[in-house]
Amino acid sequence: MALRLIFMGTPDFSVATLRALAEVGHEIVAVYSQPPRPAGRRGLELTKSPVHQAAESLGIEVRTPKSLKGEDEQAAFAALEADAAIVVAYGLLLPKPILDGTQLGCFNGHASLLPRWRGAAPIQRAIMDGDTETGMMVMKMDEGLDTGPVAMTTRVAITPDMTGGELHDVLKDAGADLIVEAMEALEKGSLTLTPQPGEGATYAKKILKAETRVDWMRTSRSVHDHIRGLSPFPGAWCEISFGGKPERVKLIRSQRAEGKGTPGEVLDEALKIACGQGAVRLTEIQRAGGKPMQAVEFLRGAKLKKGTVLP
């Protein structure tokens, strides 16, 4: 017997879970997603979220409230008479009437090993902090920020050069499988909930533009983790001068390397850059308005002399 579910999500990360729940036969009575946003070069076109588009392709009703705090929205949610709600990167806080608005509760697919990395940017923060493991968890939501009891966990290794984008793709598929498994257990009445431990909580704050610039004073490991954690979006960056004019360049990939010098110093003709301790080699970069390119291709048109110090 299939469950009657509400799905709440917005970005591409959430789409795999929505599709997986529909494919195994659950009845998705409505999808909630963030309202269409301005997009395009001039920002004049309103673009529906990836979840919104996926739901429409599945023939599911889509609701896009700006807030769930109003009594009318809460009543409309409850009127769906759902067994449970599934929340994956939705982007709105759920007030208590929403959390209580289904028969069995709201279940969140969260991309970390809770209580580590509660909050908005767990994928990027795990890599930027040098973690070697993360995972997906299914949690029953309460009024706190990712503080509810955990139902299921799957673990994923973070390899030394894995980027945020690569980890995103691994976790979105792992999360879809895990939530399908959790809903099967919920349907059978066998889903167990375990309170999160009181120690070890960390918070994955939203990535701010001010912190995306590379700080060459940091260790090579820290710089490398910073670059790969923010790749491909929003992207770590540094300034490189072309013809005496500084230009912001996005750093897509790097490798840790042997070497020492003034932090930011170009140590060879192949983009090895000194850090506060050790060095990194930039292997893939992107100039403003261009496409990502390998370092070899970049250096054909932009020579960086050994001894140059990047700011």
Residues belonging to the binding site are 112-115
Q: Indicate the Cα dihedral angle 122, 124, 127, 133, nearest 10°.
A: 30
* C-alpha triplet 33, 39, 45: angle, nearest 5°: 95
Indicate the DSSP class of residue 211. G
209's CB contacts (< 8 A; 6+ apart) are 234
CA distances from 195 to 106, 147, 198 (A): 16, 8, 9
Please report where in the chains the tokens 């806080």 appear, as a residue: 93
Residue among 232, 285, 233, 235 at smallest CA distance from 255: 285
| Secondary structure of residue 289 in the 3-state scheme | coil
Task: List, in sequence order, the alpha helices (H) in 24-160.
Answer: 50-57, 71-78, 96-99, 122-128
Phi and psi angles of residue 104, each rounded to the nearest 5 degrees, phi first: -115, -5
**Cα 13 from Cα 49, distance rounded (Å):** 11
Enumerate the known binding-site residues for (6S)-5,6,7,8-tetrahydrofolate: 112-115
